[in-house]
Amino acid sequence: MPELPEVENTRQYLLRSGLVGPRLGAPEITWAKTVHEPSVGEFIEGIAGRHVTDLLRRGKYLIAPLDDEQFLVMHLGMTGSLRIHDGQRDPPAMVRHTFPLDDGREMRFIDPRKFGHLWLLPDPAGAMRKMGVEPLEPAFTVPALVEALAGRKAPIKAILLEQSVIAGLGNLYADEALFLSGIHPERAANGLSDDETRALHAGIVEALSNSVAAYAAERDAQWPDPPVALSPWSTPRSVGEPCPKCQGSVQMIRVRGRSSWHCPSCQPAS
Ligand SMILES: [Zn+2]
């Protein structure tokens, strides 16, 4: 599932591919449920003829301001991806939606499981629930993390997945941040020591920054094809694999239903 680094990779890819500039034609929407607001007809009419003026990211959402002060908001869901191709090239399988550009190319929304989302709104906040701090922005400080975790007794793993606490983390990078900081996924979020909270803050930033950098390097290496689904984390994710820090055996437990890989030696439960 695309998390912050994957969505940021998509944003950088679309910017470099020149999404900002050309005029959009009427999009072809083949799975109506992807469009949440307004109606599909209004969505198509509202996009046609507009220019994208920028491309922003908030958590796992991509936000494209248009030149009429509306916002095209896109969420990749579980398996979605976006590509810009010239119209001649064979379309990849599972293209659900196509946004023609007036330079002869088109942006394709590929979405095998059809869990992606689209909106056209006067305010992008209307597409998302309350969003927490952006973990790669300067506002994400140790005190900000302390404040976000205060009073939260739930397992830290579950809290890290709440987009209203920290925007953009998903299962993989939450596991990685906890592994890097040596914190067991079932520890109570409000039970971390000051040192542990500092370590967790550093682990979140390191996990995401490493991945963003890995995607950037791969984008350069394989341009114009964007990298997909890199595995730039250090937490082993198969049973019996040795922990890269202590050579112990990593384990998987379910925390609120989500698989959580960890090393019981490096991430003690208490
Ligand atoms: Zn270990």
Domain of residue 44, CATH code = 3.20.190.10
- Give me the pLDDT at residue 238, please: 83
Rg (CA), the chain: 20
CA of 262 to the centre of ligand 1 (A): 8
- 185 C-alpha vs ligand 1 centroid, how far in Å? 14
Shared-domain flag, residues 8 and 111: yes
User: 123 and 152 share a domain?
Assistant: no
Task: State how far the Cα of 200 lies from the Cα of 206, in Å rounded to an integer.
Answer: 10
Report yes or no on 263 lying in a domain.
Answer: no
Q: Give the H or E element holding residue 119.
A: strand 117-121
Residue type at position 184: H
The answer to whether residue 2 is catalytic is: yes
In a shared domain, residues 8 and 121: yes
- The pLDDT of residue 228: 83
**82 and 41 share one domain:** yes
Distance from the CA of 195 to the center of ligand 1, in angstroms?
A: 19
Provide the sign of the torsion angle of the four alpha carbons 94, 85, 106, 60, taken in this order. positive
Q: Indicate which CATH number applies to the domain containing 193.
A: 1.10.8.50
Domain boundary among 127, 158, 191: 127
Q: Is 3 a catalytic residue?
A: yes
Whether residue 209 sits in one domain with residue 98: no
Q: Which of 196, 245, 258, 264 is catalytic?
A: 258
185 part of the active site: no
Residues 123 and 153 in one domain: no
Q: For 111-169, what is each residue's pLDDT tens digit?
A: 999 999 999 999 999 999 999 999 999 999 999 999 999 999 999 999 999 999 999 99
> Do 86 and 169 belong together in one domain?
no
Same domain, 44 and 113: yes
CB environment 148-187: b (16+ within 10 A), e (fewer): bbeebebbbbbbbbbbebbbbbbbbbbbbbbbbbbbbbbb
How many helices (H) and strands (E) the chain has is answered by: 6, 11
**Protein residues within 5 Å, CB atom, of ion ligand 1:** 243, 245-246, 248, 263, 265-266
259 falls within a domain: no
- Residue 248 Cα to ligand 1 middle (Å): 5
Q: Tell me, what's the pLDDT at 6? A: 96
Q: Report yes or no on 87 lying in a domain.
A: yes
Task: Give a yes or no: residue 66 inside a domain.
Answer: yes
Would you say residue 262 lies in a domain? no
Q: Please check whether residues 24 and 121 belong to one and the same domain.
A: yes
Residue 269 CA to ligand 1 center (angstroms) comes to 13
- Residue 142, strand partner residues: none
pLDDT lower than 70: segments of the chain: 88-89
Domain boundary (101, 127, 153) is at 127
What pLDDT is stored for residue 192 in this prediction?
97
Q: Which of 50, 60, 105, 187 is catalytic?
A: 60
Count of structural domains, the chain: 2
Q: How big is the CA angle at 27 (ends 22 and 33), to the nearest 5 degrees?
A: 140
Task: State the alpha helices, DSSP H only, in 90-170.
Answer: 142-149, 156-161
pLDDT at 83 (0 to 100): 94
What distance in angstroms lies between residue 198's CA and the mean position of ligand 1's atoms?
Answer: 20
**Alpha helical stretches, state H, 21-97:** 40-47
Instruction: Check whether residue 20 and residue 118 sit in a common domain.
Output: yes
Residue 241 lies in a domain: no
Report pLDDT for 38: 98
Which pLDDT score, from 0 to 100, does residue 136 have? 98
247 lies in a domain?
no
Mark whether 242 is an active-site residue.
Answer: no
Distance CA 43, CA 245 (A): 51
- CA angle (214 as vertex; 268, 242 as ends), nearest 5: 35
| In a shared domain, residues 23 and 122 | yes
User: Do 155 and 218 share a domain, yes or no?
Assistant: yes
Query: Any idea which residue has 């993390």 for tokens?
Result: 145
In-domain check, residue 254: no
- The residue annotated as part of the active site, out of 3, 6, 8, 106, is 3
pLDDT at 166: 96
Domain extent for 178: 142-235
What is the C-alpha to C-alpha distance for residues 130 and 116, in angstroms, rounded to an integer? Answer: 19
